[in-house]
Amino acid sequence: MRKKSIRAVFPGSFDPITNGHLDVINRGIKLFDKLIVAVGRSPIKNPLFTPEERIEMIAELIADMPGVSVESFDGLMVEYAAEKKADVILRGMRSLTDVHYEFKLAMTNRSVAGIETVFVMTSAQYGFTSSTLIREVASLGGDVSKLVPENVYERLQQRLKKVKSKK
């Protein structure tokens, strides 16, 4: 019997992508045949990087990962997942706080679109990281070099210098 090819979408803002996100991607490629890292364009958030810049950074990081791609999307993630013929949504879990939010989101996605969500726990060393926290700490001069990939750290430093020079 032939094994079914399973396609997953890993959605997020990835502003910026963190080592925790990379941890989830590395776990995801062990579980699924195809993994699409889907960079959301949220009208609510005030991003530091454009979607195109986030895609560039992620593309550099996944270049040697067969079966992994990166794209951006607008609108409802479940509609994007359906358009991409995804079998599941991949989500990373960091803490008990994530469980409550992600559970509601997964139940809604299944109810609205019939798509399942697969959760993976991030490694312990990334359990406290978030893009928001990293942006905040870095903007105040804190060292986040161990929390993001090197290419992302360099771009983060450059962007924050540019932002500060405009003030």
Closest CA to 153 of 61, 52, 86: 61
Residue 120: helix, strand or coil by DSSP?
strand
- pLDDT tens figures, 65-124: 999 999 999 988 999 999 999 999 999 988 777 788 888 989 988 998 889 999 998 888
CATH number where 89 lies: 3.40.50.620
From 43-52, 58-67, 102-111, the region with the lowest mean pLDDT: 43-52
d(C-alpha 155, C-alpha 1), whole Å:
47
The verdict on residue 141 lying in a domain is no
Contact between 25 and 10 (Cβ < 8 Å): yes
Using pLDDT thresholds of 50, 70 and 90, give the confidence band for residue 33: very high
Active-site residue numbers?
21, 45, 94, 131
Q: Is residue 73 part of a domain?
A: yes
Nearest-angstrom CA–CA distance, 138 and 160? 8
133 within domain boundaries: no
74 phi, psi to nearest 5 deg: -115, 155
For residue 99, the enclosing domain spans 7-128
In-domain check, residue 150 = no
Domain total in the chain: 1
d(CA 93, CA 23): 11
- Phi, psi for residue 42 in degrees, rounded to 5: -95, 125
Q: Does residue 143 lie within any of the structural domains? A: no
